[in-house]
Chain A
Amino acid sequence: MPNVIHQDGSIRQDDWTLVARPAEGESLDIPQQPALIPADLWLAGHEHYVGRDDIGVWFDSHDEPEILEGKVNELPVIAVNFPKFSDGRGYSIARLLRERFGYGNELRAVGDVLLDQLQFMKRCGFDTYVLRPDKDINKAARCLNFFSQGYQAATDTQTPLFRRRAS
C-alpha cells in the first residue's frame, strides 16, 4: 500500500487508486477498491456513482472545477493532478473547490508533488498529498511548516495579516 501525507505531517497507509482517463472509445475500468475517476466521467455517470463512499474524482490541471458546483459534497475525496510541479493551476482549483463550492471532505494533491510546494498546497486547501516516490517522505512534516504564518487570507486562514494586526 502506498503512503499518503496528511496536513499535520503524519504519514498513513492509503487505499485509493487513481484511475486514468480511458482511451477514446474505451470504457472506464474501475478496480475492486476505492477509486478516483476523472471528474467529468463521474458526472456523466452520476446516478450510478452517487452515494458511493468508495468512488472519488480527480481533476487535471486544465479541468474546470465548476462542473461539480453543487455536488462536491457528494464526494468522499477529490484529487487534483499536478502534471508538472511548475503548473500552478491546481492551487486555484483547490481554492475554488474549498472557498467557492464549499467542499468539506478530503482534497488531495497528486502527480508531480514535491516537498517545497507542500505548504502552498496546504494553504490552498489540500489536506492530503501523494508525494512523488523519489522524494523523502520523512521531510514532508518540516516542509509543510516552514512558515508559521502568511500575509494573505487563503483557505487555511480567513484573516489576512492586515486584519490580524488590527485586532
Chain B
Amino acid sequence: MYVYDDHDRQIAAERVAQFRDQTERAMAGELAEEEFLPLRLQNGLYVQRLAPMLRIAVPYGMMRADQLRRLARVTRDYDKGYAHFTTRQNVQLNWPALEDVPDILAELAEVEMHANQTSGNCIRNTTTDQFSGVQSDEIADPRPYCEIIRQWSTFHPEFAFLPRKFKVAVNASEKTDRAAIQVHDIGLQMVRNESGELGFRVHVGGGLGRTPMVGPVVRDFLPELDLLTYLEAVLRVYNRYGRRDNKFKARIKILVKALTPEGFAEKVETEWAHIKDSPTRLTPEAIERIQAYFTEPDYASTGNATDLLAEQRFENRAFDQWLTHNVDTHKKPGYAIVSLTMKKTGTAPGDVTDRQLDQIADLADEFSFGEVRVTHQQNVVLADVRQDRLLELWQAITPMGFGTANLNTLTDVICCPGGDYCALANAKSIPVAEAIQRRFDDLDYLYDLGNIDLNISGCMNACGHHHVGNIGVLGVDKKGEEFYQISLGGSSHHDATIGKILGPSFAREDMPDVLAKIIDVFVDKRTEEETFLDTYRRVGIDPFKERVYA
C-alpha cells in the first residue's frame, strides 16, 4: 500500500494548518457561511440534519490496521463511538463538533489519512475494485493508477471550483466491474491494445442522481502514460463549458449529452493535442515508483488447502455456506479473499462501532498482512487470508457480527444513511433495509435466490445507487409522507443499466410485502441457471407490475 514521503507529509500538514486557519476565521465571522461552505466541504465537513458530518477519504478503499485503530480512537474521542462505510469507499463520522474538526484532521494526518475533496465541486476520491491486485483476471493492478490520480487531483489549482462534483473510478478486471465505473463522471477500464500495450478505455458522463446515465465511451484506448494529460483535458473542457446556471444540469453527463459523446470527445481531443506532451505526461519511472508500493506481501508458498477445506466444510455447514458466499478465489495458491459483511440485521448497512474497527484492525494484523479494503457495497475485505486459516478466521468473526454469509444476496443491501441522518433525504432508508432483511431471514432461501443487488437511497441524490440495483428503492416525499418507489433491472457491472421504474410508490409498511411479490414472480418465471437480472431481462417488467399492483 502507498506510504507517504516527506512531500506528501508536508502537503498534508499544510492542509490541516490551512483548514484550522479557515475554521477560526469562519468562527470569528470573517468568512460568510457561503464562503466557508466550499472550503469545509473540500475538507469533508457537511452540516447535517442533527449535527455536522465528516467524510473521511479511504483512497481506493485501502486501509492499514494502524489507520483503522486511529479511526476507532477518533470515533471514541470525538464522536459517539461509531462510523459508517459509504458506497464510495469513504468513512463517515456522524456527530463531530465543528470546532473539533481541525483536531480530527490533524489526528488523521498522523496516520496518512485525510478528508480532502470528499465533498464539494472538485475531483473526489478515486475508487476501484476491492479485489485489486489479488485476483487472477485483472489486466494490471489498478491501485497505482488510482494513487497517481489521487496525487494529481489533490488541490489541483485549476479544478477546485468545477460546476459540480466529479468522480473517477478505475476497473481492471476483464470479467466483472465491482467499481461501477460506467456510472461515474469518468470511468477508466484498463485494457491492452492489439500490440499488448497497457492503457484505458475511457467512459465519460455516467452518473446517477436526477438524470441517471450510463457513461458512453469517448476513447477506446488511452495509452497509460497519457492518463493525466487526458484527464486534464476532460476536466478543462468540463470546467469551461459545463453548465453553471442550474445545479441540476451541471454534471458532466449533461454536457456530454448536449454535445453528443462524439462532439464532446472531439473537444477533448482538440484540447488534449495542446497538452499531450506537457510535463504532466507520465513517465515509466513515475509509474514504476508508485507500483513499487503495491508489490505482493510476503506470501507463504503453500499449496491450495483443498483437502483440509473439504473436510472442514463437510463437518460444518455454516462454515461451508460462508466459504461459498463470502470467500473468493485468490490469484495466489493457498490464499483466499474474504469479505466481511457489515450487514447484520438490526444495524444500518455500513455502520461500524469503534470496537468493531479495532477488531477489524486486529483481524487484519492477524490474518491479512495488516491491510483491509472497504468496498462499494459497504463491506470490508481481508484480501490475503491463508486458506488453512479460514476456519479460524470464521470462528473469530462470527461473534463479532461480520460473518453473515449473505454477500451479494438480497439482504447484502447497499443503503445510504437516509432520513435518520442526512439533511437531504426525503425518506428514511435504514428501516426499509431492516424490514426487508427481517422478512428474508432464511439463508437457504436467499442462496436459492442467488445474487440480487438491492440498493436503497433516501433521495434523488442516489447515494445508495438505487438506479443500478437489480432492485432499486428510492425514498420520495409525498405531501410530507414518506413513500418508496421501486425500479427493476439496474446493473452497475460491465452490462451497466439504469433500472426501470415499476410504477406508483408504496408506503413503508408495505415494502416487505411488495419485495416478496417481486421475488415470487422471479421464482415462478426463472429457469434453473438464471439470476434475478437474467429473468427480468427475459420476461420484462410487466409480469412484476401485474403481480405487485394486482
Measured in the bound complex, the distance between the Cα atoms of B31 and A10 in whole Å is 22
In the complex, number of A-B residue pairs with CB atoms less than 8 Å apart: 106
**Which residue on chain B has the smallest CB distance to residue A166?**
B285
Is the C-beta of A52 less than 8 angstroms from some C-beta in chain B? Answer: no
**Which residue on chain A has the smallest CB distance to residue B158?**
A91
Q: What's the minimum C-beta distance from A2 to chain B, rounded to whole angstroms?
A: 20
Measured in the bound complex, the distance between the Cα atoms of B162 and A117 in whole Å is 13
**Does the CB pair B289–A162 fall under 8 Å?**
yes
Q: What's the minimum C-beta distance from A87 to chain B, rounded to whole angstroms?
A: 6
User: Quick check: which of B67-75, B148-156, B376-384 contacts chain A, the rest being far away?
Assistant: B148-156
Is the C-beta of B7 less than 8 angstroms from some C-beta in chain A? Answer: yes
Whether A148 contacts B22 in the complex (CB less than 8 A), given A86-B121, A89-B239, A160-B279, comes out as no
Measured in the bound complex, the distance between the Cα atoms of B151 and A153 in whole Å is 11
B-side contacts of A123, CB under 8 Å: 157
B-side contacts of A88, CB under 8 Å: 121, 158-163, 239
**Does the CB pair A166–B283 fall under 8 Å?**
yes
B-side contacts of A95, CB under 8 Å: 158
Contact with B along A79-122 (1 / 0, CB 8 A): 00000011111011001000110000000000000101101110
A-side contacts of B15, CB under 8 Å: 147
Whether A92 contacts B158 in the complex (CB less than 8 A), given A151-B151, A162-B289, comes out as yes
- Checking B21, B35, B157 against A114 with a beta-carbon cut-off of 8 angstroms, the contacting residue is B35
Contact with A along B1-38 (1 / 0, CB 8 A): 00001010011001101100110000000110001001
Whether A153 contacts B35 in the complex (CB less than 8 A), given A88-B161, A123-B157, A148-B10, comes out as no
Whether A147 contacts B121 in the complex (CB less than 8 A), given A92-B236, A152-B152, A152-B156, comes out as no
- Checking A85, A121, A136, A142 against B35 with a beta-carbon cut-off of 8 angstroms, the contacting residue is A85
Q: What's the minimum C-beta distance from B117 to chain A, rounded to whole angstroms?
A: 12
**Which residue on chain B has the smallest CB distance to residue A86?**
B161
Is the C-beta of B39 less than 8 angstroms from some C-beta in chain A? Answer: yes
Q: What's the minimum C-beta distance from B191 to chain A, rounded to whole angstroms?
A: 23
* Highest count of chain A CB atoms <10 Å: which of B121, B159, B278, B280: B280
**Which residue on chain A has the smallest CB distance to residue B7?**
A161
Measured in the bound complex, the distance between the Cα atoms of B163 and A89 in whole Å is 9
Whether A147 contacts B14 in the complex (CB less than 8 A), given A162-B286, A162-B289, comes out as yes
Is the C-beta of A48 less than 8 angstroms from some C-beta in chain B? Answer: no
**Does the CB pair B244–A161 fall under 8 Å?**
no
**Does the CB pair B161–A87 fall under 8 Å?**
yes
The size of the chain A interface, using a CB distance under 8 A, is 38
**Does the CB pair B161–A151 fall under 8 Å?**
no
Q: What's the minimum C-beta distance from B499 to chain A, rounded to whole angstroms?
A: 33
B-side contacts of A3, CB under 8 Å: none
B-side contacts of A159, CB under 8 Å: 279
A-side contacts of B22, CB under 8 Å: 116
**Does the CB pair A149–B283 fall under 8 Å?**
no
**Does the CB pair A147–B154 fall under 8 Å?**
no
Contact residues, B376-428 vs A (CB, 8 A): none
Contact residues, A139-167 vs B (CB, 8 A): 142, 146-154, 158-166
**Which residue on chain B has the smallest CB distance to residue A147?**
B14
* Highest count of chain B CB atoms <10 Å: which of A147, A149, A150, A162: A162
Contact with A along B260-300 (1 / 0, CB 8 A): 00000000000000100011101101100100000000000
A-side contacts of B280, CB under 8 Å: 152-153, 160
- Checking A150, A164, A165 against B155 with a beta-carbon cut-off of 8 angstroms, the contacting residue is A150
Whether A116 contacts B39 in the complex (CB less than 8 A), given A91-B161, A150-B155, comes out as yes
Whether A124 contacts B157 in the complex (CB less than 8 A), given A146-B18, A147-B14, A160-B279, comes out as yes
**Does the CB pair A150–B157 fall under 8 Å?**
yes
B-side contacts of A164, CB under 8 Å: 7
8 contacts between A and B (CB under 8 A): A88-B158, A88-B160, A95-B158, A116-B39, A120-B158, A152-B157, A160-B152, A161-B151
Q: Which residues of B contact A (CB under 8 A)?
A: 5, 7, 10-11, 14-15, 17-18, 21-22, 30-31, 35, 38-39, 121, 148, 151-152, 154-163, 228, 236, 239-240, 244, 274, 278-280, 282-283, 285-286, 289
Give 5 A-B pairs besides A149-B10, A153-B279, A154-B158 with Cβ atoms closer than 8 angstroms: A91-B159, A92-B158, A120-B157, A146-B21, A162-B151
Q: Which residues of A contact B (CB under 8 A)?
A: 85-89, 91-92, 95, 99-100, 114, 116-117, 119-121, 123-124, 136, 142, 146-154, 158-166
* Pairs of residues from A and B, 10 with the lowest C-beta to C-beta distance, nearest first: A88-B161, A123-B157, A162-B286, A120-B157, A146-B18, A91-B158, A151-B151, A153-B279, A147-B14, A153-B280
